[in-house]
Amino acid sequence: QKEVEQDPGPLSVPEGAIVSLNCTYSNSAFQYFMWYRQYSRKGPELLMYTYSSGNKEDGRFTAQVDKSSKYISLFIRDSQPSDSATYLCAMSFYGQNFVFGPGTRLSVLP
């Protein structure tokens, strides 16, 4: 079983839709959870960072962590064409390296 699994997509949605991106993981020791947005041929940009379980909201973005299910989500409300990118989930725990998902390609169609 891979340490972090993420549907690679591509996921295509119309402008204004609510987007749900998800990752599952196998290591229950993970405590820190991140979402990155990566435009084509660019470095990943940090979008959201959460510690342990719960929800965090920032503008149109909401990150959810369910440690009991080993499942994290990123929701994008009122999606825009500028949200078209690859979204990477990442996680870590104390003193250890980061583990990244392979990324989900998202296309928001105008």
Partner 1 sequence: SQTIHQWPATLVQPVGSPLSLECTVEGTSNPNLYWYRQAAGRGLQLLFYSVGIGQISSEVPQNLSASRPQDRQFILSSKKLLLSDSGFYLCAWNLDRTAGNTIYFGEGSWLTVV
Among 42, 54, 57, 77, binds partner 1 (CB under 8 A): 42
Nearest to 37 by CA among 52, 59, 53, 14: 59
34 binds partner 1 (CB under 8 A): yes
Least Cβ distance, residue 51 to partner 1 (angstroms): 8
Among 32, 53, 67, 107, binds partner 1 (CB under 8 A): 32
Closest to partner 1 by CB, 79 vs 86, is 86
Question: Residue for token digits 């979402």?
Answer: 35
85 binds partner 1 (CB under 8 A): no
Chain mean position to CA 94? 20
Nearest to 84 by CA among 24, 5, 10: 10
41 binds partner 1 (CB under 8 A): yes
Among 19, 37, 44, 83, binds partner 1 (CB under 8 A): 44
Q: Where are the beta strands (DSSP E) in 15-94?
A: 19-25, 32-38, 45-51, 54-58, 61-66, 71-76, 85-92
Least Cβ distance, residue 71 to partner 1 (angstroms): 17
C-beta atoms surrounding 32 within 10 Å: 16
Binding site for partner 1 (CB under 8 A): 4, 8, 31-32, 34, 36, 41-46, 49, 88, 90, 92-103
